[in-house]
Amino acid sequence: MRQVAVLVEGRTEECLVEDVLGPVAEKRGLYLVPIVVTTSATPTRAYRGGGHWKHYDNSLRGFLGQRHWYRVALLVDYYQYPKSAPGRDCEGLGEARQRKLVRELRRTYPDPRFRPFVVLHEVETLVLAAIDAGQGDGWIPRKGLAALRRAVKEAGGPECVDDGPATSPSKRLEKADPNYMKTVTGPLLIAQAGLGAVLERCPVFAEWWEDLLA
């Protein structure tokens, strides 16, 4: 089975790869190996997203230098895109700027095996897609669910929900449910909705995913 290293920001993304993306990829003959990039750690050893790009750069160059990997992928959030990362200062908003960032990543690391992706606007966008697909009852309070579905509709889709410090997908989920568990509830709702239903609502993510599996 062909091995794919997937560099991620933290435990939330690691769970997504392990519990949701990995099983689907295996059916296509790919074994996804999530690798958390160490940027900074809390006293409990929990990794935080963002941080300086030098940590990602070191990891990427290391894995791209190992020839046994069929592909080397990268998942980082558009919101709090790492400091000094390729394209960080480029202009634009939303998907237009996201595509510029991906192009800069590919230009900086020209290895044909490299599959970078900047998630619009956070990986929790996929959770919003699952909720939009009808999931969340019994896991998130009814009032909070209604607010999340309304936000997706008003934005024009999960990937359009903005990246403001109080209105990013993760912040909206925390407001909807103060007990929301990023590494448990999120992957569970995505799995319950089915990856197909989530990808249907997240075409930018779906484009990267199909390219990774091709």
Spatial distance between the Cα atoms of 158 and 152, rounded to a whole number of angstroms = 5
pLDDT bin (cut points 50, 70, 90) of residue 47 is: low
Assign residue 208 the CATH number of its domain: 3.40.50
Q: How many domains does the chain have?
A: 2
* C-beta atoms surrounding 113 within 10 Å: 15
Judgement on whether residues 108 and 166 belong to the same structural domain of the protein: no
Judgement on whether residues 28 and 15 belong to the same structural domain of the protein: yes
Each residue of 123-162: pLDDT tens digit?
Answer: 999 999 999 999 999 999 999 999 999 999 999 999 999 8
Spatial distance between the Cα atoms of 48 and 37, rounded to a whole number of angstroms = 9
Query: Which residues are bridge partners to 5 per DSSP?
Result: 33, 72
pLDDT of 212 strictly over 70: yes
**Which residue intervals of 65-194 are DSSP H helices?**
94-108, 125-132, 142-155, 169-176, 185-193
Q: Hunting for tokens 């300086």 — which residue is that?
A: 52
pTM for the predicted model, two decimal places: 0.92
pLDDT score, position 163 = 77
Q: Which domain holds residue 139?
A: 125-195
Judgement on whether residues 31 and 100 belong to the same structural domain of the protein: yes
Q: Over pLDDT 90: what percentage of the chain?
A: 88
